[in-house]
């Protein structure tokens, strides 16, 4: 593969859309020995090497064909493409070419319709973000840098704003956005964060001083924060946190049961109707816990999930009943 690059008349490395200054690019320092690496390490090494060499290889050349067809006054568009010269694709074998065969057609040529069918479909909601698609969206919106985007997502998870995979926004996340949209809409828009990122780039390029950017940011944030420092915001955020802790209906009184903490810091499930209703269930004390969107088939409660070294999901009522049976007690 290296010979493909070296045999070129001119070696011209490809460039990204934007020049980044947060870290230097990967460049070769030595040749690795297959004997010194594990099978998985060698796969990663080969991926990096092929990617590096592909950036120095020639462009792939495609032959593109488009056709406009007409039937009973209705126009249809068709397209095809054929890989004429693989270029960098010959080295970077992980990328599929995706050729579409479209035969050569003449203007005015009549074609036979081989098949026709009527399909009934419903629109589907857009899919939730996976780690990869969220990173791609952040890149498009100029949010963070290559080295900080993963950390931003980690913070969203650790602070309880998103969970699961694909990611699911929690009720506290919705509450934060609802409050900010009402009190300080500017802070919810990606434009503001992107603008701050651009200002930091200007500092790195020497086009603006650090003091200028800090003062402008302070003025902007002061206007935003003075509108959200009231008790109404705190109340709405608490409501959002509580919604994320709601497990389902109390089997005793019908009110909501939710995850709570005792005075000693131990978590349990308690009824929102306390002290009139004293229904409660114990919970495991180790591992972070969150309420899923799935319901138990036998009870009107949601399935809980424990995160940790050994993650597991359970219905709190079924789990407690099984514990009682193991102790020789009735539920």
pLDDT at 193 over 80: no
Distance of CA 284 to the CA centre of its chain: 29
Q: Is it the case that residue 331 has pLDDT exceeding 60?
A: no
Percent of the chain with pLDDT over 70: 91
**Residue in this structure with the two tokens 């690059």, named with its chain if needed:** 5
CB 251 within 8 A of CB 317: yes
328 vs 41: CA distance, rounded Å: 52
Highest mean pLDDT among 141-145, 188-192, 263-267: 263-267
Q: How confident is the model over 14-67, as pLDDT tens digits?
A: 776 666 666 667 778 888 888 999 999 999 999 999 999 999 999 999 999 999
Q: Give the gyration radius of the chain's Cα atoms.
A: 29
Find residue 269's DSSP bridge partners.
Answer: 259, 281
Q: What residues are paired with 312 via a beta bridge?
A: 306
Q: What number does CATH give the domain 131-235?
A: 1.10.460.10
What span, in angstroms and rounded, lies between the C-alpha atoms of 202 and 209? 8
Q: What is the pLDDT of residues 227-279, one digit of tens each?
A: 666 556 666 666 666 677 888 888 888 888 888 888 888 889 999 888 899 99
Which residues belong to CATH 1.10.460.10 in the chain? 131-235
pLDDT value, residue 191: 79
Q: Note the pLDDT of residue 140.
A: 87
Could you count the other beta carbons within 10 Å of the beta carbon of residue 128? 14
Tens digits of residue pLDDT in 275-324: 899 999 988 888 778 788 888 888 888 888 887 777 888 998 898 888 88
Taking the mean position of all CA atoms in its chain, how far away is CA 304?
22
Q: What is the dihedral of CA 221, 227, 231, 233, to 10 degrees?
A: -70
Q: What is the mean pLDDT of residues 124-147?
A: 88
């Amino acid at each position: 593969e290296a010979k493909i690059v070296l045999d070129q008349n001119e070696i011209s490395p490809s460039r990204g859309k934007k020049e980044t200054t947060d870290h230097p690019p990967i460049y070769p320092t030595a040749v690795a020995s297959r004997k010194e690496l594990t099978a998985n390490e060698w796969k990663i090494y080969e991926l990096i090497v092929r990617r590096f060499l592909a950036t120095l290889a020639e462009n792939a050349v495609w032959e593109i064909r488009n056709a406009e067809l007409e039937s009973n006054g209705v126009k249809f568009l068709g397209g095809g493409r054929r890989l004429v010269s693989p270029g960098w694709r010959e080295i970077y074998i992980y990328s599929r070419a995706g050729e579409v065969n479209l035969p050569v057609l003449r203007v005015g040529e009549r074609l036979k319709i081989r098949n026709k069918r009527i399909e009934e479909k419903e629109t589907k909601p857009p899919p939730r973000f996976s780690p990869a698609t969220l990173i791609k969206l952040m890149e498009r919106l100029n949010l963070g840098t290559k080295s900080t985007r993963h950390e931003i997502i980690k913070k969203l998870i650790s602070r309880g704003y998103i969970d699961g995979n694909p990611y699911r926004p929690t009720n506290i996340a919705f509450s934060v956005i609802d409050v900010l949209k009402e009190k300080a809409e500017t802070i919810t828009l990606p434009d503001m964060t992107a603008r701050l990122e651009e200002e930091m780039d200007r500092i790195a390029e020497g086009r603006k001083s650090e003091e200028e950017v800090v003062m402008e940011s302070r003025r902007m944030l002061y206007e935003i924060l003075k509108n959200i420092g009231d008790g109404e915001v705190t109340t709405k955020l608490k409501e959002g946190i509580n919604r994320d802790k709601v497990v389902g209906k109390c089997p005793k009184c019908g009110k909501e049961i939710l995850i709570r903490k005792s005075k000693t810091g131990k978590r349990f499930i308690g009824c929102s109707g306390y002290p009139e209703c004293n229904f409660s269930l114990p919970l495991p004390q180790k591992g972070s816990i969150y309420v899923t969107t799935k319901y138990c088939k036998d009870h009107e409660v949601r399935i809980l999930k424990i995160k940790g070294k050994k993650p597991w999901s359970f219905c709190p009522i079924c789990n407690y009943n099984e514990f009682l049976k193991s102790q020789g007690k009735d539920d």
